[in-house]
Amino acid sequence: MKLFSTTCLALTVLATTAYADTCATGKTLTDGKLTIATGNPAYYPWVMDDAPESGQGFEAAVAYAVAQEMGFDQGDVVWVRSSFDEAIQPGAKNFDVNIQQYSITPERDQVVDFSKPYYTAPMAVLVGPGAVDTPATMAALKSLQWGAVGSTTAVPKLDKVVQPTKAPLLYGDNADVNAALSANQIDGALFDLPTALFLSAVMIEGSKVIGQFAPDSGDNPDQFGMLMEEGNPLKECVDQALDALGENGTLAKIEAQWLQDTTGVPLIQ
């Protein structure tokens, strides 16, 4: 009898913890699962080998850490792919959160919701093989032929901070900018620092990251946030999770693990 009642009690306790209400209960697309979207393809060092399910890569690791904090196990996370357009168009989304190096800007905030920032990304200058000797000074940068991905915050940064003498050429994605650098059609391009380091190491022969912009160079540094549908009630859960991860040092640990080689790049004078 005693064994029976203890087992009943134990089972009830287990049952209540299993079905305990977390912040995110009932607020996701599919109950019990968190649907996360990322880019197609997803680049190093944000996601390794275009496989976010592995949890390898800075954004993949952050996504799984936030999911864990909100009560979702690794098996409860579903990955989908999306483009920037799909994320900002009006109407129902096919994801709960979208994590793809989105910079938080006030204009975008009116149309979608962002979580608290999970990373502050300095902007870095990547130059092609023809311009590796360019010094890391503003004056030298002005005379380069610039290129950038048209849909990123690199464009207003070029306009406001660098103010080049020749009009920049704009491209659809990183791959096209790489092609232009290799074909010597542009001298330099602006990327966030980790992406710039990856491109110089792997994608473009003979290119070099010559400098990064200091955080107070007349423009706010880019802060990456997770993108959500406007008015999504999940936002407060995600923010709570990010706060917790920041306080207990997990976010800093993930950053040190995946983005450790971002030190050692000189600041642009």
Q: Which residues bind other proteins (CB under 8 A)?
A: 84-85, 88-91, 105, 107-108, 110-112, 147, 150-153, 155-156, 167-172, 176, 179-180, 182-186
CA–CA separation, 97 vs 183, rounded Å? 37
Looking at beta carbons only, is 75 or 90 nearer to other proteins?
A: 90
| Closest CB 242 distance from other proteins, rounded Å | 22
| Closest CB 179 distance from other proteins, rounded Å | 4
| Closest CB 60 distance from other proteins, rounded Å | 24
Q: Any residues with CB less than 8 A from the CB of 10 and at least 6 apart, and which?
A: none
CA–CA separation, 134 vs 209, rounded Å? 10
Looking at beta carbons only, is 143 or 257 nearer to other proteins?
A: 143
Run of H or E including 170: strand 169-171
Looking at beta carbons only, is 16 or 110 nearer to other proteins?
A: 110
Q: What is the greatest pairwise CA distance in the chain? A: 87
What is the token pair recorded at 61?
Answer: 């690791």
CA–CA separation, 196 vs 207, rounded Å? 10
Looking at beta carbons only, is 170 or 259 nearer to other proteins?
A: 170
Looking at beta carbons only, is 76 or 86 nearer to other proteins?
A: 86
Q: Check: CB of residue 258 under 8 Å from CB of residue 201.
A: no
Q: What is the rounded radius of gyration, in angstroms, for the C-alpha atoms of the chain?
A: 22
**DSSP string of 86-150?**
HHHSSS--S-SEE-S-PBP-HHHHTTSEE-S-SEEE-EEEEE-GGGTT--SSHHHHHTS-EEEET
| Closest CB 105 distance from other proteins, rounded Å | 7
| Closest CB 151 distance from other proteins, rounded Å | 4
| Closest CB 26 distance from other proteins, rounded Å | 22
Looking at beta carbons only, is 89 or 257 nearer to other proteins?
A: 89
250-258 vs 58-69: helix crossing angle, rounded to 10: 160
Looking at beta carbons only, is 153 or 212 nearer to other proteins?
A: 153
* H-only helix segments in the chain: 2-18, 58-69, 84-88, 106-109, 138-142, 154-157, 174-182, 193-198, 234-247, 250-258
Tally the C-alpha atoms within 13 A of residue 249's C-alpha that lie toward its C-beta: 1
| Closest CB 28 distance from other proteins, rounded Å | 21
